[in-house]
Amino acid sequence: MGKKIAILAAGVFMNFLFGFIVFSITSMVGVPKHLVISGIQEGSPAEAARLSGGDIILEARFPGSALKDPISAEDFSASTRASAGSEVALTLQRGEERIDISLPARENPPEGQGALGVYIAEVGTEPAGFFGGVAEGAVKTWQVGKLVATGFFDMAGRFFTSPGTATENIAGPVGIVVVAKETSALGLVYFLDLLALISVNLAVLNLLPFPALDGGRIVLALIEKAKGSPVSQKAQVIVNMAGLGLLLILMVLVTVGDVRRIF
């Protein structure tokens, strides 16, 4: 029985281990720094110019000055405020495309909004070295695993309280392919970080005590050990088929959400 549980847990362990190793490596070498548009404010010049979340700002040209990648959020915000009433020209990386866009910097934006109407975020980290990288890899693995677990239980709760929004923040196979394509355009390190994140996701989800998943099969093995006899084949088939059916329904809902977000 112990061997059976160990075999079932081996796949989960390997997913955790892969995520930890990759997170450690990317922390050791560091992630290239970029200034990324993380969101667009409604009714803003950025929305009118069709800027998009995920765009990397490679260059920002203001009247009398210019900023080039890597750009700090503080410098970009200060230059934008100083250019109110003028045109700002941006060179953006969107996937594999380079795009040049000009848009006006508002003199009197609505309260809570900036001159362009974008949310920006600095991404990237300095190399942490070997021991620092291992420590950061462990922290990232723990944090991602914790977020996945809490997110899953939050989603399960919303299925009963607000079914229509239960899967709105979850990406399925279609969404993952889109994100992977966009992430690979940022560079190999970002793509490796995404692979590590997916691996830890799979580890946590497989560990959940749900029929048809490794966690559910481990629970079944523990029940057999507690009662001293195997669970009937018929009961196992019924439970696993029910679990598989629920997973397929969830997969369809998530895929529909992916397609809706894309189009």
Global pTM exceeds 0.75:
no
Tell me the pairing of strands 97-104 and 87-94.
Answer: antiparallel
Percentage above 70 pLDDT, the chain: 73
Residue with more model confidence, 131 or 247? 131
Give 72-104 pLDDT, tens digit per residue: 999 999 999 999 899 999 999 887 789 999 999
How far, in Å, CA of 120 to CA of 77, rounded? 9
How is the chain split into domains, by residue range?
A: 2-30+128-262, 32-125
pLDDT category at 177 given cuts 50, 70, 90 is low
Q: Is the pLDDT of residue 167 over 70?
A: no
What residues form DSSP beta bridges with 34?
Answer: 123
Q: According to the model, what pLDDT value does residue 25 have?
A: 93
How far, in Å, CA of 179 to CA of 155, rounded? 21
Q: According to the model, what pLDDT value does residue 257 have?
A: 61
Contact between residue 239 and residue 211 where contact means Cβ atoms under 8 Å apart: yes
Contact between residue 102 and residue 83 where contact means Cβ atoms under 8 Å apart: no
- CB under 8 Å, gap of 24 or more: what pairs does 209-217 form? 210/243, 210/247, 211/239, 211/240, 211/242, 211/243, 211/244, 211/246, 212/240, 212/243, 212/244, 212/247, 213/243, 214/8, 214/9, 214/11, 214/12, 215/12, 216/240, 216/243, 217/8
Q: According to the model, what pLDDT value does residue 66 have?
A: 92
- Give every CB contact of residue 151 below 8 A, 6+ residues apart in sequence: 169, 170
Q: Is the pLDDT of residue 232 over 80?
A: no
Give 96-144 pLDDT, tens digit per residue: 789 999 999 998 888 878 899 999 988 888 888 899 999 999 999 999 8
Give 248-257 pLDDT, tens digit per residue: 766 666 566 6
For the domain made up of 32-125, the CATH class stated in words is mainly beta
User: Is the preceding peptide bond at 109 cis, omega within 30 degrees of 0?
Assistant: no
How far, in Å, CA of 114 to CA of 109, rounded? 6
Give 16-60 pLDDT, tens digit per residue: 999 999 999 999 988 888 899 888 888 899 999 999 888 899 999
Q: According to the model, what pLDDT value does residue 2 have?
A: 66
What does the mean pLDDT of the chain come to?
A: 80
